[in-house]
């Protein structure tokens, strides 16, 4: 009877709520759109370069544009730059996607911000947060992979330090693989692969790109990934179970292999001793079911028989836990495809040769 209760009425975990955000990170498409910039100086020139690199058509209003602006206008990095050698007017804001200004006088900065808002144009006044609707932040550019970093103006130097660390961590070859993903996306969508297979393709692509970031992607890579995705999808449609060890509870000890399994699961059966911070690694759309001991094997096997990709997330290590052996035996007896992902324990318990025994998060 206890098995039936656990099977019919497991506790469902709700996804964690988003914590408060100081700023909403938004990546704005500006290609071919008009942006209005007022002012002069190095900071204004940098914003013009940034906007133009994003494909914007930048109109710059300044009575005496400096040498930096003239150089940029001659060789724009992406869109176009038009210098207007005069002061800005309210009418110049009409139709702009964004407005950016640099002013020495706070009164002029305030007038510019009010005019932009009255015209319905989001505004940024450089170095004057009180007059800004948005901020630029620090950027790591591996376009089309772009990472934005903001401290909401609290500590710009701290944001730059984080950017520097990310620059060192993220290979420049990621740009080529991100561009390949954009190029291959339409081909994957029209390949006839099922939704499960398409998800499998992109998981395989991600692992492949990280491993081969030192070379350019080739058509042979696409063909190989497509074939492997088909094979994996056929197996997944029959259902599968991955036993994932969460280790002693520290989210920073979760292995990369475990994090990938959580990201690929449709259903996650979670032991009640697993720390909530570890569940945060799971795909938000995955169904999460909190269980104790009774009926765990029956529930997990039933979900896999229904064709689901199931992760059983357990405290510790499924390889060494004695009470996990009954679950393993039941899964094997049911003829279901099974994989085991070891969990890290104390440093003395880390065994040589365990695949991907690296923290999924690194302290900054």
CB atoms within 10 A of CB 235: 12
pLDDT band of 194, cuts 50, 70, 90:
confident
State the residue for tokens 């993220």: 170
pLDDT at 4 over 70: no
pLDDT at 163 over 60: yes
How do residues 267-286 score in pLDDT, each as one tens digit? 999 998 888 889 888 888 89
pLDDT at 8 over 70: no
Tell me what pLDDT residue 237 has.
67
Tell me what pLDDT residue 14 has.
67
pLDDT at 118 over 50: yes
What is the rounded average pLDDT for all residues in the chain?
87
Which helix (H) or strand (E) covers residue 80, if one does? strand 80-84
Tell me what pLDDT residue 364 has.
31
Tokens of 114: 């009010």
* Secondary structure class of 28 (helix, strand, coil): coil
Question: Which of 107-116, 243-252, 334-343, 352-361 comes out lowest in average pLDDT?
Answer: 352-361
Tell me what pLDDT residue 308 has.
87
Cα–Cα distance between 333 and 27 in angstroms, integer?
50
- φ, ψ (nearest 5 deg) of residue 243: -90, 115
pLDDT at 326 over 90: no
pLDDT band of 74, cuts 50, 70, 90:
very high
DSSP per residue, 122-141: -EEETT-GGG-S----EEEE
């Amino acid at each position: 009877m206890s098995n039936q209760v656990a099977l019919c009425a497991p506790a469902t975990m709700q996804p964690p709520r988003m914590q408060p955000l100081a700023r909403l990170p938004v990546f704005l498409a500006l290609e071919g759109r008009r942006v209005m910039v007022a002012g002069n100086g190095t900071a204004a020139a940098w914003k013009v370069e940034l906007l133009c690199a994003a494909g914007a058509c930048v109109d710059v209003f300044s009575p005496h544009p400096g040498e930096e602006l003239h150089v940029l206008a001659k060789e724009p990095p992406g869109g176009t730059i038009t210098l207007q050698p005069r002061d800005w007017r309210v009418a110049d804001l009409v139709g702009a996607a964004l407005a950016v200004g640099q002013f020495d006088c706070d009164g002029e900065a305030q007038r510019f911000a009010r005019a932009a808002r009255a015209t319905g144009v989001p505004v940024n006044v450089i170095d004057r947060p009180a007059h800004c609707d948005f901020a630029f932040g620090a950027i790591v550019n591996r376009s089309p992979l772009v990472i934005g970093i903001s401290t909401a103006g609290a500590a710009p130097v701290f944001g730059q330090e984080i950017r520097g660390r990310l620059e060192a961590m993220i290979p420049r070859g990621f740009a080529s693989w991100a561009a390949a993903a954009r190029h291959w996306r339409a081909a994957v969508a029209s390949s006839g692969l099922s939704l499960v297979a398409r998800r499998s393709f992109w998981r395989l692509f991600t692992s492949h790109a990280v491993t081969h970031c030192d070379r350019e992607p080739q058509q042979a890579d696409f063909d190989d990934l497509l074939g492997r995705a088909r094979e994996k999808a056929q197996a997944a449609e029959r259902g599968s179970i991955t036993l994932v060890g969460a280790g002693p509870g520290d989210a920073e000890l979760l292995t990369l292999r475990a994090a990938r399994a959580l990201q690929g699961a449709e259903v996650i059966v979670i032991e009640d001793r697993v720390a909530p911070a570890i569940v945060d690694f799971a795909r938000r759309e995955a169904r999460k079911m909190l269980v104790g001991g009774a009926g765990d094997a029956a529930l997990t096997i039933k979900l896999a028989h229904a064709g689901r990709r199931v992760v059983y997330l357990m405290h510790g290590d499924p390889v060494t836990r004695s009470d996990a052996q009954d679950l393993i035996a039941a899964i094997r007896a049911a003829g279901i495809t099974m994989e085991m992902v070891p969990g890290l324990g104390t440093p003395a318990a880390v065994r040589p040769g365990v695949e991907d025994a690296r923290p999924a998060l690194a302290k900054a």
